[in-house]
Amino acid sequence: MGCQLLLIVAVLTIIASGEGKINVGDVCNPNDLKGLTSFKAGIHNDTSERLAKWVGQSCCGWEGILCDNTTGRVTEIRLPGFISTDDFVFQSQMEGLLSPSITFLTSLEVLDLGGLIGLAGTIPTSIGFRLQKLRKLYLYGNKLRGLVPESIGNLLKLEELHLHENGLSGTIPSSLGNLQNLNELFLHSNQFTGKIPDSFINLTSLVRLDLHSNYLNDHMPQKIGELQVLEELDFSSNLLRGKIPSSVTNLTVISVLYLDNNYLEGAIPFPSSYGQMHSLSFLRLNNNHLTGTLPPNFGYLTSLQRVSLANNKLQGAIPASLGYLQDLTELYFNGNQLSGWIPKSIGQLSSLLIFSVSHNSIKGPLPDQMSSLQNLQTVDLSFNPLNLSSTPRWLAELPSLSRIFLAGVGIEGEIPEFLRTTPSPIQELDLSVNHLTGSIPAWLGRLTQLYSLNLSRNALVSEIPQTITNLQDLGVLDLHSNKLTGQISRVFEIGQRFSGGSLTYVDLSDNSFSSGIELMGEGGQTGIQFLNLSHNFLEGRLPNSIGRLKSLRSLDLSYNTLGFVLPNTLANESLLETLKLQKNQFTGKIPSEFLNLRKLKDLDLSDNLLEGEIPAGNPLSNFPESSFSGNRGLCGKPLTPCKARVLVKSTIPAN
């Protein structure tokens, strides 16, 4: 007995003096034990059940704990929320407060409590004074609030700091600039405000810097009214703002730089010379307020693979130096004020897969060199004053091209014949807002990989060709605002022979279709969520079979000459949020089944020939009068009460 006690004392002495060899079965350092038990006590729910097994005093044997085998001190806590083994993957969760006593573990080199989702509280200030051996600190993916303590800048051994996806706020501490060994700094998806600290100039080991999306993400105003307006006015002050410091060029080994979705202003300050930031491969500056021209030397960033500068206020021409970017696969410059011409050097971007420059002021003609982009899969040139007049022929010769966006670029004449024989596996084709005339060609049915077709806002005059029913994968069909005529029923047959129909979105509005509405086949396009047939000359009755469109969320049949009674099967579309039937000639009563349309948010039955009592109850009674006005004789809430006669009739049985 006495002997055993002596032994324990001896072991403790060895630990305290940091000498000797320690076995996993031994009692662990009292400070480590205290820190770990306090941590466990702060957690009231652990779906991984790892903490439940933390019993006794031999913490070095506990799951997620690693000790140094000479000092016996805990060097690693690895309790990530995402658990992945050879046999299974599991997203676990811990709820509770992060105990400040975690900093008792003064020999910690790795602290991984990332992705536990429910860890709340703050990052303890003592972390910077006590955990000076930390190399990796992962607290991402939790509910931590408050400031990042300035003391974190004392952790000079830190290599990886992952604090992203929390509710951290305040400014980014400039002391982080002291961390000369830092490779990875992830502070994205928090609520940091203020500027990127100048001290970052000293982060010369930084390989990955991610500061994206620092705004009030989960504090977005919910309330409607004055309060919301006030909060919105204040919104931009709650963002990471200011200029991108020119000192980013001192980050000589940076490879990943994500600063997107903030409120950064001013010009892009790099690169100023060849070889600067020579490892930069992934750059995202999109969704900021950047101004000025694109740096002429942009092409000096020779390692770039993916770049997005989209949705800023950048001006000037795309620099010719772009051609140096041999490894570039994705380029997003859309949503700026870029002008001039696309440089000929673009033809040298032999790795390019995605080229998106829509919504700028880029002029035509396009350089022929674009025909060298043999790997190009997506091209988006939409809404530029390209004045293309005809679709560029080289498009049809790019063997990998599958998504073509040429909306609003001034194309004239018929849908180009060469698309008929293109070897490209075209999946998306957007030629909307051009000056296309003539017919929708029958050969379109050969583009069997087509998923999305947008020919809206042109001057096409034909019928929809029968061959369109061959497009077995078509999901999105937007033909609105043309002068199309004839039957619409074909649309409901698209792909039916093969797959039962994959359509989810159909807009044929604002044309001259004149048939009735018939749903062909048995099951029939039950996946359609959005159907707009408004502003046509459709006539006849709405068939009972309309109730088969069970996925419908939005149905607009307004401005036609549809008539007869409304089928009560419409109420089978229980997901319906928008129902617009105004300006038709529907007669009879509103079916009481419409009360089942629980999700309805937008209803317009005005200017028809409906009569009788509006079925009383939600959601119908809650719509404004304008939803029912201009009918032959509707009454009841929200319109005036029905005539006494009706009232008497319904009150007699109650008496």
Ligand X SMILES: *[C@@H]1O[C@H](CO)[C@@H](O)[C@H](O)[C@H]1NC(C)=O
Contacting residues toward ligand X, per CB under 6 A: 45, 47, 69, 93, 95, 177, 198-199, 201-202, 250, 385, 387, 407, 410, 432-433, 454, 456-457, 476, 478, 480-481, 505, 509-510, 532, 534-535, 547, 554, 556, 568-569, 571-572, 578, 580, 593
Give the whole-angstrom CA distance, residue 613 versus residue 642.
7
Between 93 and 587, CB nearer to ligand X: 93
- Which single residue is written with the structure tokens 């982080």? 176
- Which single residue is written with the structure tokens 């980014």? 172
Give the whole-angstrom CA distance, residue 42 versus residue 144.
14
CB of 452 to ligand X, least distance (A): 7
CB of 225 to ligand X, least distance (A): 26
Q: Taking the mean position of all CA atoms in its chain, how far away is CA 114?
A: 22
| β-bridge pairing 428-430 and 609-613 | unpaired
Q: How many CA atoms lie within 13 A of 490 on its CB side?
A: 17
CB of 3 to ligand X, least distance (A): 25
DSSP conformational letter for 70: T
CB of 568 to ligand X, least distance (A): 5
CB of 247 to ligand X, least distance (A): 6
Give the whole-angstrom CA distance, residue 45 versus residue 81.
13
**H/E element, 94:** strand 94-97
Between 33 and 43, CB nearer to ligand X: 43
CB of 654 to ligand X, least distance (A): 27
Q: Is 84 helix (H, G, I), strand (E, B) or coil?
A: strand
Between 96 and 495, CB nearer to ligand X: 96
**H/E element, 649:** helix 644-651
CB of 290 to ligand X, least distance (A): 22
Do 101 and 74 form a contact (C-beta atoms < 8 A)? no
CB of 119 to ligand X, least distance (A): 13
CB of 447 to ligand X, least distance (A): 17
Do 530 and 557 form a contact (C-beta atoms < 8 A)? no
Between 305 and 437, CB nearer to ligand X: 437
Between 489 and 526, CB nearer to ligand X: 526
Between 598 and 632, CB nearer to ligand X: 598
Do 325 and 306 form a contact (C-beta atoms < 8 A)? no
Q: What angle do CA 427, 434, 580 make, to 5 degrees?
A: 80
Between 164 and 580, CB nearer to ligand X: 580
CB of 643 to ligand X, least distance (A): 28
CB of 93 to ligand X, least distance (A): 5
Between 231 and 412, CB nearer to ligand X: 412
Give the whole-angstrom CA distance, residue 30 versus residue 255.
42
Among candidate residues 452, 457, 499, 493, the one with its CA nearest the CA of residue 476: 452
Between 277 and 352, CB nearer to ligand X: 277
Give the whole-angstrom CA distance, residue 358 versus residue 317.
14
Q: What angle do CA 579, 582, 585 make, to 5 degrees?
A: 120
List of long-range contacts for 75-78, beta carbons under 8 Å, 24+ apart: 75/107, 75/108, 75/109, 75/110, 75/133, 76/108, 76/109, 76/110, 76/111, 76/112, 77/36, 77/102, 77/105, 77/108, 77/110, 77/111, 77/112, 77/113, 78/110, 78/112
CB of 647 to ligand X, least distance (A): 27
Between 134 and 531, CB nearer to ligand X: 531
Between 286 and 534, CB nearer to ligand X: 534
List of long-range contacts for 42-46, beta carbons under 8 Å, 24+ apart: 42/96, 42/97, 42/98, 42/99, 42/121, 43/94, 43/95, 43/96, 43/119, 44/95, 44/96, 45/93, 45/94, 45/95, 45/96, 45/118, 46/92, 46/93, 46/94, 46/95
Between 471 and 642, CB nearer to ligand X: 471
